[in-house]
Structure 1
Amino acid sequence: MPTAARLVAAFCLALLAFIVSEQVKPQLPEGTDFGYFNWVNTGLGILCGWVIMGPRAGRGAVSGINNGLTGVGALVFWGLFVHGTYEMFRLAMRNRYDGPFDALLAIFEEAVEFGSALLVSHILVTLVIGAVISGLATDFAWRRWR
C-alpha cells in the first residue's frame, strides 16, 4: 500500500544513490563506460526505499536512523551485487570463465572490486549522512502524513 513514508524513503534513497554514483565515477579506472550506471543505482534506491525503509517507518528517531542505515546498507549490497553480476555476464560473453562456478564466484570478486571504490572518506561520509537524513525524513513523513 502506498504511503508517504514509502514515497519519501524512495525519493531520499534515489537521490542518495545518484549522488554517490557521481562520487564513485572518479574512483573507477579512467575510460570506464558507465552506461546506465546512475539510473540503475537510482532505481535500486527507489526499490530499497519503498520496500525496505518505508514499511519500517514510525518507530521513533533512533529507529528512524537505524532504518536509514539499514536502507543504505541494502542499497550498497544490491548495487554491488547487480553491477558485479553485470560485469560477470559481460566477461562470460567473452568466454573468460572455465565453468559456471567460476562465473558465480566472479560475481562476488567483481562486487568486492567495485566495493573498494566506495572505501573513500568522502563517499563513506556521504553514505552515513544520507542514511541518517533519509531515516529521519522517512520517520517524519510517517508521523506527519498518516
Structure 2
Amino acid sequence: MPTAARLVAALCLALLAFVVSEQVKPQLPEGTDFGYFNWVNSGLGLLCGWIVMGPRAGRGIVNGINNGLTGVGALLFWGLFVHGAYEMFRLAMRNRYDGPFEAVLAIFEEGVEFGSALLVPHIIVTLLVGAVVSGLAAEIAWRRWR
C-alpha cells in the first residue's frame, strides 16, 4: 500500500544512489563506459526505499536511523550484485569462462572488485550521512502523513 514514508524513503535512496554513483565514477578504471550506471543505481534506490525502508517506518527515531542503514546496506548489496551480474554476462558473451559454475562465481568476484571502489572516505561518509538522513526523513514522513 502506498504511503508517504515509502515515497520519501524511495526518493531519498534514489537521490543518494545517484550522488554516490557520480562519486564512484572517478574511482573506476579510466575509459570505463558507464552507460545507464546512474539510472540503474537510482532505480535500485527507488526499489530499496519502497520495499525495504518504507514498510519499516514509524517505529521511532533510533529505529529510523537503523532503517536508513538497512536500506543503504540493501542498496549496496543489490547494486554490487546487479553490476557484477552484468559484467559477468558481458564477459560470458566473450567466452571468458569454462563453465557455468565459474561464471556464477564471477558475479561475486566482480561485485567485490566494484565494492573496492566504494572504500574511499568521502564515499563512506556520503553513504552513512545519506542513510541517517533517509531514515529520519522516512520517519518524519510517517509521523506527519499517516
Q: TM over 0.5: same fold?
A: yes
Aligned length: 146
Tell me the distance in 1 between the aligned counterparts of 2:104 and 2:45: 25
Tell me the distance in 2 between the aligned counterparts of 1:137 and 1:104: 37
Match of 1:144 in 2: 144
Match of 1:17 in 2: 17
Match of 2:104 in 1: 104
The unaligned stretches of length 5 or more in structure 2 are none
What secondary structure, in the 3-state scheme, does the structure 1 residue paired with 2:13 have? helix
TM-score, length basis structure 1: 1.00
Q: 1:69 is matched by which residue type in structure 2?
A: L
Query: Which 4+ residue blocks in structure 1 deviate beyond 6 angstroms?
Result: none
RMSD: 0.2
Tell me the distance in 1 between the aligned counterparts of 2:122 and 2:59: 30
What secondary structure, in the 3-state scheme, does the structure 2 residue paired with 1:77 have? helix
The unaligned stretches of length 5 or more in structure 1 are none
Match of 2:57 in 1: 57
Q: 1:59 is matched by which residue type in structure 2?
A: R
TM-score, length basis structure 2: 1.00
What is the percentage of aligned positions where both structures have the same residue?
Answer: 86
What is the CA distance between 1:139 and its match in structure 2?
0.2
What is the CA distance between 1:110 and its match in structure 2?
0.1
1:86 lines up with 2:86 in the alignment: yes
Tell me the distance in 2 between the aligned counterparts of 1:25 and 1:72: 19
